[in-house]
Amino acid sequence: MGKITTAGELREYLSQTIAGVGNGTINTDKARDITKLAAQINESFYSEIKVAKVVTELGNVASKMGELKINK
């Protein structure tokens, strides 16, 4: 798989990784590393959604997903 640009593509990649572990083409250490990195991406999604919810509840317009500013 090339560059992963959507949540669906991330899920597909993780599914392929699981299948690879199951059939022996991906070692468990590599799969563990992939899983940890994917968890960080998912945490980022969750954090961005939480920020958007709070901003909206305060009556402001939230940034589009993926465009949340993290600095000034």
The model's pLDDT over 39-56, given as tens digits with 9 standing for 90+, comes to 999 999 999 999 999 999
Residue range 12-28: average pLDDT? 95
- 41 is a domain residue: yes
Q: What angle do CA 36, 21, 17 make, to 5 degrees?
A: 55
Identify whether 50 is part of a domain. Answer: yes
Percent above pLDDT 70 for the chain? 97
* H runs (alpha helix) in the chain: 7-23, 28-57
Q: Domain total for the chain?
A: 1
Domain annotation covers residue 32: yes
pLDDT class for 70, splitting at 50, 70, 90? confident
1 vs 61, more confident:
61
Q: Does position 16 have pLDDT exceeding 80, yes or no?
A: yes
pLDDT given for residue 72 in this prediction: 65
Residues of the domain holding 38: 7-57
In a domain, 39, yes or no: yes
Are residues 49 and 41 in contact, defined by beta-carbon separation less than 8 angstroms? no
Question: Per the domain annotation, does 51 fall within a domain?
Answer: yes
